[in-house]
Each structure stands twice: as structure tokens, then as C-alpha cells.
């Protein structure tokens, strides 16, 4: 399906890809992985023909249809579902022609072709895809112009999935999705009948969907025939082997240097000394990787406060006359790790703003511990960063009056060297802006950290570092995230935001995932669990009766 041969690509004098080769056979689902900034998105642009390579070739199977997610959708009064349906240009053109054509032969051709491309099943197919991505029937009928950028990206994704191209390219497809839509997309792509190539930093998503990995590292591509866990295990073993060989090399080099130093002045050893000098000159030490050092994140431990940190007593929350949530009766203690579940639009962000003190309750009471500080991370903060100011200037403004060494030390906890902290924000990557945001929301050493989609823009290594930082943090954490791996590794309590309120979810994350994929209602799941408990209880009672009879 896709052939990459001896590919070289440079940008602004910097070589991103050098002499890289790869082959993606038809029908496989693959991913390109690698640290942020190594050139994954540039490789996608080369495949799409949006930029030209400096050497080598990228070729697609003849007549293969390439599918991508549009990065921008202009305002239109078309409904969401009509927009998706019209993305199939051939179907749309044939239907329009069928309304005016009169020649019998052409009419027959049109209807034969419409039948061939399953044109009459298209509305049902488009509706199912949109529903999976969070658009109910009424939402599908609304004009596209009424939606924000994040929801428009979902529509663009729906259009790409609806077209079912021969090669589907997806760049971070879960970034604009909530947990529920990400679970649906994962299940959809596992069954994708054609060829898929994606960029993703979502470990669970990669493990579930792809069957091969291409690792972009040190300007070239390495192939691994398996999912992400297989890639990571195999690569770790390979790097361990290289490291062992490197140490062996260094020992040999040290031995040669020792010989040279000992016998350099002896004429009888001149030939051997010269031989070893030439060997050292040709010596090229093995390298495990040229990637940037791993980023270590660290949230400062807060001042200890007596529990509870926050108590909600029959609270209503919303905006003006619009009540979004009601009947809130929650309590948050130190070291709580809570994941908020529920589809976008149900009120997760409203609940987070309520905890952060950004909105006040419409009714009811919130009790907060004295001296409580809350750090709230959300995506809009990235947009609010001042482009021409540096990370240092942002942090110095927040830490008003602090000496330079303290400001830089705080930035250093989030992977900012002195050089990087003096770069204007507009030149930082998405991941670097996210890390700056982590530093800004935690500089006051809050007792509660609220994280709303914190892994967007973070690569896999930084996501792992975030997991360690959350687990090591001495305060409470509330998470809203589509990253199942992050939630599995950190959250110990699940709260469901649904039907205008927040309540505990008694099942596991995996049970919730299956419930979302299969469309099972919470009430049905709880009924099944209760029924199973009753059945188990009944079995135990029967055993006791039998054992009692035997004793008699």
C-alpha cells in the first residue's frame, strides 16, 4: 500500500529524516511513534504530498484513495450529518445528476454505481459514526457553524471515517475526544477493513488498534511487527544489548589508550603504538539514542491541611439561569485520586470550575479548608500564554518578587533548562507549553490539582513522567482525560458526571469502557452486578445447607 525508500527531508537546514525506508502492506493497521519534534507530522505531510522530500521516494499503491482529517472546516449552514454525507464527492455528484438526467443508459449507469458504493446506506452509516463521536440525533441536525473548533474536529474525523479510504492517515485522533468517544473510536478502528496509519501517544489506544509500529528515531525508521507493548519490550532489549556492546567498546578503547600512554616513548613499540593510534582514530562509539533527555515532572508537595479539603452540601452549579449540575454531595480529601467520567457536555468542566472556585454555587453550600489552594490545568490556558514572552518571564510574573534562581529552579522541575526557559512561548512546542502550564498552576504548592485533558501534546515518555508526578504528589488530584492508561495508573475513585449530577461509579474502568462500547446503561450494569451478587449469595446459602445436613 505504502512504500518509503531512502527518504531524506530537511527543514530550515536541519535534517529531520535521513535515508529512511519502510513498507506498509495493504490491510494492516500501523502507527508511527517517537519523541515530540523528531518529524512524525512532517513524515505525514510527505506521504500526503504537502511537502517535497530532499531525497528518496514515497509511493502509494496505484489508484489508492488517501484519507486525511481536515485541519480546518469553514462556516457552513449545512447540518452536521449533511456535511459528512457531502464529503463523499462521488455520491453527492451522482445524486445531483440523477435529479436532472434523462438518458436511459446514463440513468442505469448512475443507479448501478450508486448501488455499488452503497449510497443508500450512507445516511445510516454516517449517523452511526457521528453518534459514536458524541453527536446524538438532534446534534447531527444542528448547523455545523454552531459548533466550536473541538467539535468541528470531531466532524472532520467523522467525515474521514465515513469515506473509508484505502489508506487512512490519523494524526493524534483522540486529542479532541472525551473518554467515551475515544473508546468508541478504538473499537471502530480495530475493525477498520482497509489500511490505517496513525500518529498517537496513547499507549492503550496503540495496543488495542495497531499490529505494527514504525519508530522514528535518529532520523530513520525502525520496524516492529506488533503492538506498542511489543515494540517497547523489543526496543528495550535491543538498547540493553547496544549498551552492553558500547561498554565493551569503551573498555577496549581504554585498553588501547593505556597501551599508547605506556609505550609511546619506547622505540621498540613504535609500530604497535601507531597501529593503536590509527585504530582509536577510526573508533566510532555506539549510540543508544540522540533523543533529548527524558523529561522529569515534579509537583511540589503542599502544606498539610486537616481533612476534608472540600465538602459539597446539596450544591447546584451552572451559569445564570442555566442549571448544569444539581444534588452535589461530594467530599474531597488529601491524596484522593479521582477520575471524572461522562461524555462531553455532561458538566465535567463545570464541576472542575466549581471545585477550583472559578464559579460559585447557584444554591447549596461549599465548605473549603482554611488556606486551601487549588491548581487548575485546562487547554484554554495554553491559548492564553503570551507569545512573545519566555517561559522564565511567565513564571517570574507568577512568582512576583522571587529571585531568579528560585524561578529557574521551579521551571527546572518541569524540564526547562536555562536555555529553553529563555525561548519565546511562540517558539515552544505544544508539549513544552503544556509543561509550562503545569509549572504555572503548581507554583503556589496547591493541595488540590485539577487536570482537564493534561496529556494532549505530550509524548509517551512525558505522559509516563506525568503518571509518576501524580502518584508522588502529596495532595489530591481530580482528572478529566481520554487517556485510559493515565487513569488506570493513577485514579483510585471514579465519579460519573451524568443526568445533571455527579455520583460514584461502582464499577471498574474496564467495565465502564465495555459499557460505553456496547451502549449499556449504568442502571443495566448495576442491575447485572446486583443480580450476580444475589446468585453468588444463593449458591453460598445452598452450600451451607448441604454441609449442615451432612454434619447431622
- Out of 213-217, 252-256, 313-317, which region has the weakest mean confidence (pLDDT)? 252-256
- Note the pLDDT of residue 366: 95
- Note the pLDDT of residue 258: 76
- Structural domain containing residue 367: 310-520
Residue 89 lies in a domain: no
Q: Which of 195, 223, 257 is the endpoint of a domain?
A: 257
Taking phi over 0 as left and psi of -120 to 50 as alpha, with beta for the rest, 266 belongs to beta
Number of compact structural domains in the chain: 3
Q: Same domain, yes or no, for 485 and 341?
A: yes
For 379, the grid coordinates are 487547554
Q: Name the band, by pLDDT with cuts 50, 70 and 90, for residue 290.
A: very low
Residue 263 lies in a domain: no
- Note the pLDDT of residue 287: 46
For 179, the grid coordinates are 473518554
Q: Does 437 have pLDDT greater than 80?
A: yes
**In the predicted model, what is the mean pLDDT of residues 286-304?**
69
Q: In whole angstroms, give the CA distance from residue 477 to residue 353.
A: 14
Q: Name the band, by pLDDT with cuts 50, 70 and 90, for residue 78.
A: very high
Q: Is 388 exposed, middle or buried (0-12, 13-18, 19+ CB in 10 A)?
A: exposed
Q: Same domain, yes or no, for 251 and 395?
A: no
Of residues 411 and 249, which shows the higher confidence score? Answer: 411
- Per-residue pLDDT of 247-277, as tens digits, reads 666 676 776 677 677 767 776 667 666 766 7
Q: pTM of the predicted model, to two decimals?
A: 0.77
Q: Same domain, yes or no, for 349 and 467?
A: yes
Q: Which position has the grid cell 442502571?
A: 523
- Note the pLDDT of residue 457: 84
- Per-residue pLDDT of 519-551, as tens digits, reads 765 555 554 554 555 456 556 665 665 666 555
Residue 119 lies in a domain: no
- Note the pLDDT of residue 536: 61
Q: Does 423 have pLDDT greater than 70?
A: yes
Of residues 73 and 376, which shows the higher confidence score? Answer: 376
Mean pLDDT of the chain: 85
- Note the pLDDT of residue 252: 65
Residue 266 lies in a domain: no
Q: Which of 227, 257, 287 is the endpoint of a domain?
A: 257
**In the predicted model, what is the mean pLDDT of residues 139-166?**
92
**In the predicted model, what is the mean pLDDT of residues 413-437?**
89
Residue 265 lies in a domain: no
**In the predicted model, what is the mean pLDDT of residues 104-118?**
90
Who's near 489: CB < 8 A, 6+ residues apart?
467, 471
**305-336 burial: b if 16+ Cβ within 10 Å, else e:** beebbbbbeebbbbeeeeebbbebebebbbeb
**In the predicted model, what is the mean pLDDT of residues 226-236?**
86
**124-138 burial: b if 16+ Cβ within 10 Å, else e:** eebbebbbbbbbeee
Q: In whole angstroms, give the CA distance from residue 457 to residue 205.
A: 16
What are the φ/ψ torsions at residue 458 (nearest 5 degrees)?
Answer: -95, 140
- Per-residue pLDDT of 30-73, as tens digits, reads 999 988 888 898 999 999 989 999 899 999 988 888 989 887 78
Residue 364 lies in a domain: yes
Q: In whole angstroms, give the CA distance from residue 184 to residue 135.
A: 12
Q: Same domain, yes or no, for 425 and 542?
A: no
Q: Same domain, yes or no, for 431 and 504?
A: yes
For 397, the grid coordinates are 510574573
Helix 149-163 × helix 122-132 angle, to 10°:
140
CATH of the domain at 36: 3.40.50.300
Q: Does 14 have pLDDT greater than 90?
A: no
Q: Same domain, yes or no, for 468 and 539?
A: no
Q: Same domain, yes or no, for 447 and 364?
A: yes
**In the predicted model, what is the mean pLDDT of residues 469-485?**
91
Residue 216 lies in a domain: yes
Q: Same domain, yes or no, for 225 and 337?
A: no
- Note the pLDDT of residue 209: 94
> What are residue 339's DSSP bridge partners?
479, 494
**In the predicted model, what is the mean pLDDT of residues 149-176?**
91
- Note the pLDDT of residue 240: 66
Q: Same domain, yes or no, for 401 and 506?
A: yes
Q: Name the band, by pLDDT with cuts 50, 70 and 90, for residue 124.
A: very high
- Note the pLDDT of residue 527: 46
Q: What is the DSSP string of 311-334?
A: EEEEEEEEETTEEEEEEE--EE-T
- Note the pLDDT of residue 286: 45
Q: Which of 257, 290, 325 is the endpoint of a domain?
A: 257
Q: Which of 89, 19, 88, 7 is nearest to 44 (CA)?
A: 7
Q: How many CB atoms lie within 10 A of CB 422?
A: 13
Q: Same domain, yes or no, for 170 and 318?
A: no
Q: In whole angstroms, give the CA distance from residue 111 to residue 131.
A: 28
Residue 445 lies in a domain: yes
Q: Does 294 have pLDDT greater than 80?
A: no
Q: Same domain, yes or no, for 486 and 464?
A: yes
- Note the pLDDT of residue 395: 92
**In the predicted model, what is the mean pLDDT of residues 126-152?**
91
Q: Same domain, yes or no, for 465 and 344?
A: yes
Q: In whole angstroms, give the CA distance from residue 340 to residue 349.
A: 9
Amino acid at each position: 500500500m505504502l512504500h518509503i525508500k531512502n527518504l531524506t527531508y530537511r527543514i530550515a537546514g536541519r535534517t529531520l529524516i535521513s535515508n529512511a525506508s519502510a513498507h506498509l502492506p495493504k490491510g494492516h493497521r500501523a502507527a508511527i511513534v517517537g519523541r515530540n519534534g523528531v518529524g512524525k507530522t512532517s513524515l505525514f505531510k510527505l506521504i500526503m504530498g504537502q511537502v517535497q522530500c530532499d531525497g528518496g521516494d514515497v509511493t502509494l499503491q496505484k489508484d489508492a484513495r488517501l484519507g486525511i482529517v481536515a485541519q480546518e472546516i469553514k462556516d457552513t449552514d449545512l447540518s452536521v450529518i449533511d456535511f459528512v454525507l457531502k464529503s463523499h464527492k462521488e455520491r453527492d455528484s451522482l445524486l445531483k445528476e440523477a435529479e436532472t438526467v434523462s438518458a436511459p443508459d446514463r440513468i442505469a449507469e448512475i443507479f448501478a454505481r450508486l448501488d455499488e458504493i452503497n449510497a443508500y446506506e450512507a445516511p445510516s452509516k454516517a449517523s452511526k459514526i457521528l453518534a459514536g463521536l458524541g453527536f446524538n440525533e438532534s446534534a447531527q441536525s444542528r448547523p455545523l457553524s454552531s459548533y466550536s473548533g473541538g467539535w468541528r474536529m470531531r466532524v472532520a474525523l467523522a467525515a474521514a471515517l465515513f469515506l473509508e479510504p484505502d489508506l487512512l492517515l490519523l494524526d493524534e485522533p483522540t486529542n479532541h475526544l472525551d473518554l467515551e468517544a475515544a473508546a468508541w473510536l478504538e473499537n471502530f478502528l480495530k475493525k477498520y477493513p482497509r489500511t490505517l496509519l496513525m500518529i498517537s501517544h496513547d499507549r492503550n489506544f496503540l495496543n488495542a488498534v495497531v499490529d505494527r509500529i514504525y519508530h522514528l528515531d535518529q532520523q530513520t525508521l525502525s520496524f516492529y511487527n506488533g503492538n506498542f507493548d511489543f515494540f517497547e519490550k523489543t526496543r528495550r532489549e535491543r538498547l540493553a544489548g547496544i549498551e552492553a556492546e558500547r561498554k565493551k567498546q569503551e573498555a577496549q578503547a581504554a585498553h588501547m589508550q593505556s597501551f599508547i600512554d605506556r609505550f609511546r616513548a619506547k622505540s621498540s613499540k613504535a609500530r604497535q603504538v601507531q597501529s593503536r593510534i590509527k585504530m582509536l582514530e577510526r573508533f566510532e562509539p555506539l549510540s543508544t539514542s540522540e533523543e533529548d533527555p527524558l523529561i522529569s515532572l515534579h509537583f511540589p508537595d503542599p502544606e498539610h491541611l486537616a481533612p476534608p479539603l472540600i465538602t459539597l452540601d446539596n450544591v447546584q452549579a451552572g451559569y445564570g439561569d442555566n442549571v448544569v449540575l444539581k444534588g452535589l454531595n461530594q467530599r474531597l480529601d488529601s491524596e484522593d485520586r479521582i477520575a471524572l467520567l461522562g461524555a462531553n457536555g455532561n458538566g465535567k468542566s463545570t464541576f472542575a470550575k466549581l471545585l477550583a472556585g472559578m464559579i460559585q454555587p447557584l444554591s447549596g453550600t461549599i465548605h473549603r479548608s482554611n488556606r486551601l489552594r487549588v491548581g487548575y490545568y485546562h487547554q484554554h490556558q495554553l491559548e492564553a500564554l503570551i507569545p512573545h514572552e519566555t517561559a522564565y518571564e511567565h513564571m517570574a510574573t507568577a512568582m512576583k518578587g522571587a529571585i531568579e534562581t528560585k524561578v529557574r529552579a521551579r521551571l527546572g522541575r518541569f524540564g526547562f533548562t536555562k536555555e529553553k526557559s529563555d525561548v519565546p512561548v511562540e517558539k515552544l512546542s505544544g508539549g513544552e507549553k503544556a509543561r509550562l502550564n503545569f509549572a504555572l498552576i503548581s507554583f503556589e504548592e496547591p493541595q488540590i490539582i485539577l487536570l482537564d485533558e493534561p496529556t494532549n501534546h505530550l509524548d509517551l515518555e512525558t505522559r509516563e513522567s506525568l503518571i509518576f508526578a501524580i502518584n508522588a504528589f502529596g495532595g489530591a488530584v481530580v482528572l478529566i482525560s481520554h487517556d485510559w492508561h493515565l487513569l488506570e495508573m493513577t485514579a483510585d475513585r471514579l465519579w460519573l458526571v451524568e443526568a445533571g449530577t455527579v455520583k460514584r461509579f461502582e464499577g471498574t474502568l474496564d467495565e465502564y469502557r465495555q459499557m460505553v462500547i456496547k451502549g449499556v446503561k449504568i442502571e443495566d450494569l448495576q442491575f447485572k452486578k446486583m443480580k450476580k451478587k444475589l446468585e453468588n449469595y444463593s449458591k453460598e446459602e445452598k452450600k451451607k445447607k448441604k454441609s449442615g445436613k451432612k454434619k447431622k
